[in-house]
Amino acid sequence: MKHAGGVRLLVIIACIALLLLVGLALFGGPSATSTATEFMRALQAGDVDKLTELSLVAPGDENKIRKQWEFCIHTATPYYNFLWQVQFAKQITDNEWVVSLKIIKNPQNPSSYDEPFEMTLDRVGRGWKVDVYRLSSKFYPALPRPGRDIER
């Protein structure tokens, strides 16, 4: 009898643990790495809306960064081609991670090579935003920059 009761208790504990894991997966929010991946996919696809959404900007500067992304994607680099790969992510503080990437610019050129870059992400609410202003100017042509006004 003790053996049968122990098995039932073990099944109950396993079910509770499974429910906790599912809850964390559903309600824990995205990771810094998944946000960096989403940002890079948007950059590759030229998705200005997603890039604007994932960019860390001061409140009220959303229109400004949108105009800068529109200039970057549609005017400065309409045919820019690159490949990328996430290498690893490193936690700096509870609210800041750095994601290491390799980017190959102009991959159809046989002399192309991969270049290492880092992307800083800050926690905003339950999600993450890319600190676009801290990206190297060599990361991507015509990136949004503070103080750059694009008139359209």
Instruction: Quote the distance between the C-alpha of residue 45 and its chain's center.
Output: 14
Q: What proportions of the chain, in percent to the nearest 5, are helix, strand and coil?
A: 45, 25, 30
Q: Are 98 and 120 in contact (CB under 8 A)?
A: yes
Q: What integer best gives the mean pLDDT of the chain?
A: 88
* Residue range(s) defining the domain that contains residue 24: 1-30
Using one digit for the tens of pLDDT, what is the confidence trace for 49-81? 999 999 999 998 999 999 999 999 999 999 999
Using CA atoms, how far apart are residues 127 and 98, in angstroms rounded to an integer?
Answer: 15
In whole angstroms, give the CA distance from residue 2 to residue 34: 46
Do residue 116 and residue 139 come from a single domain? yes
Query: How many of the other CB atoms lie within 10 Å of CB of 128?
Result: 25
96 and 20 Cβ atoms separated by less than 8 Å: no
Encode pLDDT of 2-18 as tens digits: 555 556 766 677 657 66
Residues 1 and 51 in one domain: no
Least confident span in 11-20, 69-78, 100-109, 127-136: 11-20
d(CA 70, CA 152): 10
Q: How would you label 69-82 residue by residue, b for 16+ Cβ within 10 Å and e otherwise?
A: bbbbbeeebeebeb
Judge if 61 and 43 occupy the same domain.
yes
Give the 3-state secondary structure of residue 120. strand
> Do both 25 and 38 map to the same domain?
no
Q: Do residue 17 and residue 54 come from a single domain?
A: no
Looking at the structure, do residues 17 and 58 belong to the same domain, yes or no?
A: no
- pLDDT for 3 equals 54
pTM of the model: 0.79
Question: Which CATH number is 117's domain given?
Answer: 3.10.450.50
Count of structural domains within the chain: 2
* Same-domain check for residues 11 and 70: no
Statement to judge: residues 63 and 99 lie in one domain: yes
**Are residues 92 and 19 located together in one domain of the fold?**
no
Residues 43 and 8 placed together within one structural domain of the fold? no
